[in-house]
Amino acid sequence: MNVKPPRWANKFLQWYCRPELLEEIQGDAYELFERTSKENPRKAKRQFVWNVVRFFRLKNIRKPKSSLTNNTITTAMLHNIFKVAIRHFFRQPAHSLLNVVGLTVSFVAAFLIFLWIMYERSYDQFHEQPDQIYKVLSHVEANGDLTMMM
């Protein structure tokens, strides 16, 4: 009996699989199909389809053909960026200094906010059940002054 695997599953495998992996994956799937088809041809076809679907993983998917160049940063690109930045700095030093100071202040502010949030979230975390701890605040007016009591 000459039983063949489903053509559509084989075409799907050829469509998505990377060329360098196709022969190995297809060979394994065909080998399992041949072994199972001697006992039960219907089960062999179902198993072949399952194996094709099972090999549909991100690492096995063919990369799309692109006419664009690779997006990696090269040393020549970095050299050019730094050269342009230095030229801009010497042509307009006040504007460049203002940009650098603004960027520095924003990074420092973001870092301090991050530290403050981490501190607030770590409050009373040493207890066994930190989600069961509550903080009660009350405002008390005494002698004309408003104070907060814990």
pLDDT at 69: 57
51: which residues sit within 8 A by CB, 6+ positions away?
Answer: 28, 29, 32, 33
Closest CA to 13 of 64, 57, 66, 65: 57
Tens digit of each residue's pLDDT (9 = 90 or more) over 61-84: 777 666 555 667 788 888 999 999
Q: Render the chain in DSSP notation, one character per residue.
A: ------HHHHHHHHHHB-HHHHHHHHHHHHHHHHHHHTT-HHHHHHHHHHHHHHT--GGGBPPPP-SSPP-PPPHHHHHHHHHHHHHHHHHSHHHHHHHHHHHHHHHHHHHHHHHHHHHHHTTTTTSS-GGG-----EEEEETTEEEEE-
What pLDDT, on a 0 to 100 scale, did the predictor assign at position 1?
57
The amino acid at 3: V
Q: List the domain boundaries for the chain.
A: 7-60
For 142, half-sphere exposure in the C-beta direction (CA atoms, 13 angstrom radius) is 6
Residue 140 sits at φ, ψ, to 5 deg, of -120, 130
Residue 150: predicted pLDDT: 62
According to the model, what pLDDT value does residue 67 have? 55
What pTM did the predictor assign?
Answer: 0.40
Low-confidence ranges of the chain (pLDDT < 50): none
pLDDT in the model for residue 70: 61
Position 122 scores a pLDDT of 81
Question: What pLDDT score was predicted for residue 106?
Answer: 98
- The pLDDT score that the predictor gives to residue 25 is 82
